[in-house]
Amino acid sequence: MLIGGILVITCKNPVHSALALIVTLLAQASIYLMLYAPFVAGVQIILYAGGIMVLFLFVIMLVSIDRSVRERQFNSQWVVGIIAATALGGLFIAVYTKGKNIFPEHALPVVENDNTQKIAIMLYGQYMFAFEIASLLLLVAIIGAVVMAKKKI
């Protein structure tokens, strides 16, 4: 997954980056399976790797012409970017080495067979309002994307 992530940010061709991102998303779905979350893994594969990345590939084919592959790849502020990312990485290392003892020793090995049912009960029961708002958000996103990409409004 980390190799896929590194390939996303370093490839010259955006199509190669998109394929590396698909590899990263599939690896992340397998890590979700390791965490006993099969429903989230399924949603990730169907929605993310099968929907969003296909959308990205369509737009790459519409937009990226051959000229952009031969240009300079990293922008003019890359030194400051690397310094900021190193500072953030240092912060993460400091937090994780100081607070290492909070987490329990072993991962809980509970195998449950009704993960999807429990998520569905929680989604339609406790998080019903958020569910409706999410559908409204998707409606707004559809209208927004269509309006942004039209030739004349």
Partner 1 sequence: MESMLHITTLHYLVLGAALFLLGVIGVLTRRNVVIVLMSIELILNAVNLNLVAFSRMWGGLHGQVFAIFVITDAAAEAAVGLGILIAFFRNKETVNIDEVNLLKW
Query: Within positions 39 to 68, which residues make up the interface with partner 1, using CB under 8 A?
Result: 39-40, 43-44, 47-48, 51-52, 55-56, 59-60, 62-64, 68
Give how far Cα 36 sits from Cα of 3, 49, 106, 122, 123, Å: 24, 20, 14, 17, 18
Q: Does 111 bind partner 1 (CB under 8 A)?
A: no
| Binder among 30, 35, 94, 132 for partner 1 (CB under 8 A) | 35
- Cβ neighbours of residue 118 closer than 8 Å, sequence gap 6 or more: 112
Which residue in this structure is represented by tokens 């003892």? 101
> Which DSSP string do the residues of 25-58 spell out, in sequence order?
HHHHHHHHHHTT-HHHHHHIIIIIIIIIHHHHHH
Among 30, 94, 132, 144, indicate the residue that binds partner 1 (CB under 8 A).
144
Is residue 28 involved in binding partner 1 (CB under 8 A)? yes
Asked if residue 88 binds partner 1 (CB under 8 A), the reply is yes
Please, which of residues 117-136 interact with partner 1 by CB under 8 A? 118-119, 122-123, 127, 130, 134
Q: Is 110 in the site for partner 1 (CB under 8 A)?
A: yes
